[in-house]
Amino acid sequence: MNSGENGASKRDAGKGLALPGLIIGLLTGLAAYGIIEFWIDGRDDNPLAIAALFFVITASAAYLLLAERASLFRALGGALAIAIMLALPDYFMTAAALDDFDNLSDFPAMFWFATSRGLVAYLLATLFKAGFEGGAGLHLKPAYRDVFFHGLTMPLIGGGALLFAGLAVVLLFAWARLLKELDVGFFNALFQEPWFLLPFIGAIGGLSIALIRGLQSVLGALRFILLLIARILMVITAVFTLTLLLVLATKGVAPVFDQPYPSALMLGLALAGMLIFNGVYQNGEAAPPPLWLRLPTLATLIGFPVYALIAFYAFWLRVGEYGLTPPRIAGLTVNGLVAAYSIVCLAGLASELNWRGKRWMPPVGSLNTAMAALWVAALILLATPLINPWAISARSQLARIADQRVAAADFDFGYLRFQLGRHGDKALDEMLLLEDHPEAPAIRDGVKRARSARNYWEYRHPVIIDNGGDETAGREPPPEESLDRPETLPINPGPDVDPPPAGEPQNGR
C-alpha cells in the first residue's frame, strides 16, 4: 500500500520548529487576549474585532503548518494569503450574526463558521503546502502526490494539536484544584485569568503542531491505518451502493423521499463515498489495485451521479413548492459541487477502458486538485455579499407571490420580515405595489400583519380577540403590557391557564 510517503514527507519533518511554534503560539494567545479584552469586551456589536481575532488565529495556525526551516518567510506569505481570503466572509457573516435589529436568519453564519470555514481553511493550507514543494515560489499547479500527502497529513497534525492542548488545560485545572485542596488558592485563581489562560493554550497549541510535525513515524502509521480503513470501507460501500441502486431501479425514489431529509441523505452518502474513494485512489501514481478492490471502486463511482441527481430532484421539489431559503441555497451549492465531482468519477470510469494501463485512473489526480480549488471558491463566495443568501431568498419568495404560485393565505409574510432582514422588507414593499394581483387586498393585509408584529413568535402566534363569539386572528395587537409574549408567559402554568394559540405553518421555510 502506497501511503504517500515520498521526498515531500522528509522535508516536512518540522524539525527545529518547536521553539518558533511555542513563541508564535504564545504571541497569538496574547494577541487574542488583547483583542478580546480591549476591543470586544464590553461592546455588544463589533464584527471587525471578531474578524480580526479570526484573522490572527488563522494566520498563526496556517504559518505553523506551512513553515519549514528553509522557508520561514515564504510560509508567512502563504499564511497571510489564507487569512486574507477568509477575512471578508468572516466579517460579513459576523456582522450578520451580531446584528439583532436586522432580523436575519442565523443559518448562513452557522453554516460558514461551523462547516465551511474549517473546510476552506484546510483545503487552502493543503494547496499552499503542496504548491511550495519542489523549489522556490508557489507552484499554481502542484503535483497531486503532494496535494494528497499534505491533505492526509494536516488533519492528523491539527487533531493531535487540539487533543494535546485540551489535555494540557485539563491537567492545568486539575493541578490548580489539587493545590486549592491544599489551601494554596493562588494558582487556582491565576489559571482562570484570561491573560494567563489564552497565551498558555496558544503556546501549547503552537508547540504541539511543531512537535507532531516532527513525529513522521507516528504520522506515517496513522496514514497507513486511515488508508487501510478506506480500503475496507470501499468494499462495504460498494455493496451498499449496488443494493441502493437495485432498490431505486425496482421501487423508484419513494423509499428515499420517505426519509425526513432526502437531499441531505443523498449528499451525505456522496460525500462519504468521495472520502473513501480518495483514500483508495491515494496519490495517483500507483498501478491499478487488485481486482477485489478495483471492481468495488468502479461500482461505487457509478453511484455518485445517481446520488447527485436524486438530491437535486429533492431540492427542486422543495424550491418549487416553498421557494429558496438560506439552508436550501447552501444545500444546492453543495449539491452542485457533488454533481461537479461526478465529472471526476466519469473521467475515472472512462479511463478504465484502458484496463491494462500502467497507472490507475490518471485523470483523477489533476481533476481532484481542480475540485479542491472549486470547493474553496464556491464556499467563500457563498459567505460574501457577492452571493447574498438572504437577498436571493427574498427575491425567490417575492416571485412566488407575484407569479401566483402560492395563495396569500398560505404565504409566510413573517418569514421575510423576521428572517430575511432588509432584503425581506424590500420584498414586502414590492408586494404592496402588486395592485393588479388578484389577491392584492390579501397581500396588503399579510404585509400589514407582518409589520405590526414585534417578533416572529408574535407573528406566528396571532392575538385572538373574543368579540361576542367571533374570534379573529391578525387584528391590531393589544398594548405591550397586556400582550402574552414568551417573556410574560408563566414558567409553570397551572391547569386553569389556557395554552397559547396554535401557530401558522411556516410556508417561507
HEC string of 202-238 equals HHHHHHHHHHHHHCHHHHHHHHHHHHHHHHHHHHHHH
Helix (H) or strand (E) holding 472: strand 470-473
3-state DSSP assignment of residue 134: coil
User: Are 223 and 126 part of one and the same domain?
Assistant: no
pLDDT tens for 339-379 read 999 899 999 999 999 998 899 999 999 999 999 999 999 99
For the chain, what percent of residues have pLDDT higher than 90? 65
Cell 473546510 belongs to which residue?
119
Question: Of 194, 214, 234, which residue constitutes the final position of a domain?
Answer: 214
User: Are 230 and 368 part of one and the same domain?
Assistant: yes
Q: Is residue 504 part of a domain?
A: no
Give residue 451's pLDDT. 92
Considering the entire predicted model, what is its pTM?
0.85
Which of 125, 134, 1 lies closest to 60, judged by CA?
125
User: Are 240 and 353 part of one and the same domain?
Assistant: yes
Q: Which three cell numbers stand for residue 385?
A: 455579499
User: Which of the listed ranges 82-86, 157-161, 263-267, 493-497 does the model predict with the highest average pLDDT?
Assistant: 82-86
Q: Is residue 454 part of a domain?
A: yes
Q: Which residues contact 287 (CB under 8 A, 6 or more apart)?
A: 358, 359, 360
Mean pLDDT of 288-304: 94
Give residue 14's pLDDT. 56
User: Are 118 and 241 part of one and the same domain?
Assistant: no
Give residue 68's pLDDT. 84
Give residue 465's pLDDT. 47
Q: Is residue 133 part of a domain?
A: yes
Give residue 15's pLDDT. 61
User: Are 290 and 182 part of one and the same domain?
Assistant: no
User: Are 62 and 167 part of one and the same domain?
Assistant: yes
Which of 219, 348, 239 lies closest to 299, judged by CA?
239
User: Are 361 and 449 part of one and the same domain?
Assistant: no
User: Are 122 and 251 part of one and the same domain?
Assistant: no
- Pick the more confident residue, 476 or 231: 231
> ∠ CA(408), CA(410), CA(414), 5° rounding?
85
Cell 503532494 belongs to which residue?
146
Q: Is residue 487 part of a domain?
A: no
Give residue 100's pLDDT. 65
pLDDT band at 17 (very low <50, low <70, confident <90, very high): confident
> How far is residue 276's CA from residue 295's CA, in Å, rounded to a whole number?
14
Q: Is residue 162 part of a domain?
A: yes
Mean pLDDT of 92-111: 87
Residue 328 clears pLDDT 50, i.e. is over it: yes
- Helix 262-281 to helix 362-382 angle, to the nearest 10 degrees? 140
For the ranges 98-112, 119-133, 152-166, 323-337, the lowest mean pLDDT is seen at 98-112
Give residue 135's pLDDT. 65
Mean pLDDT of 308-315: 94
Residue 478 clears pLDDT 70, i.e. is over it: no
Q: Is residue 382 part of a domain?
A: yes
Residue 458 structural domain: 389-482
Average pLDDT over all residues of the chain = 86
User: Are 361 and 393 part of one and the same domain?
Assistant: no
pLDDT band at 44 (very low <50, low <70, confident <90, very high): low
CA distances from 490 to 136, 289, 463, 481 (A): 68, 67, 17, 15
Mean pLDDT of 118-147: 88
User: Are 429 and 468 part of one and the same domain?
Assistant: yes
Give residue 6's pLDDT. 47
- Pick the more confident residue, 305 or 185: 305
Residue 57 clears pLDDT 70, i.e. is over it: yes
Q: Is residue 492 part of a domain?
A: no
Q: b/e string for 16-38 if b means 16 or more Cβ within 10 A?
A: ebbebbbebbbbbbebbbebbee
Mean pLDDT of 214-237: 94
- Pick the more confident residue, 17 or 197: 197
User: Are 257 and 350 part of one and the same domain?
Assistant: yes
User: Are 48 and 197 part of one and the same domain?
Assistant: yes
For the chain, what percent of residues have pLDDT higher than 70? 86
Residue 423 clears pLDDT 80, i.e. is over it: yes
Give residue 136's pLDDT. 65
Give residue 25's pLDDT. 94
Q: How far apart are the first and last CA of the chain?
A: 48
- Pick the more confident residue, 425 or 461: 425
pLDDT band at 497 (very low <50, low <70, confident <90, very high): very low
pLDDT tens for 137-168 read 677 788 999 999 999 999 999 999 999 888 99
CA distances from 446 to 105, 408, 461, 480 (A): 20, 7, 14, 21
Question: Of 334, 362, 387, which residue constitutes the final position of a domain?
Answer: 387
Residue 445 clears pLDDT 80, i.e. is over it: yes
Number of domains the chain is built from: 3
Give residue 470's pLDDT. 45
Residue 54 clears pLDDT 60, i.e. is over it: yes
pLDDT band at 214 (very low <50, low <70, confident <90, very high): confident
For the ranges 26-30, 182-186, 455-459, 473-477, the lowest mean pLDDT is seen at 473-477
> How far is residue 411's CA from residue 283's CA, in Å, rounded to a whole number?
52
Q: Is residue 26 part of a domain?
A: yes
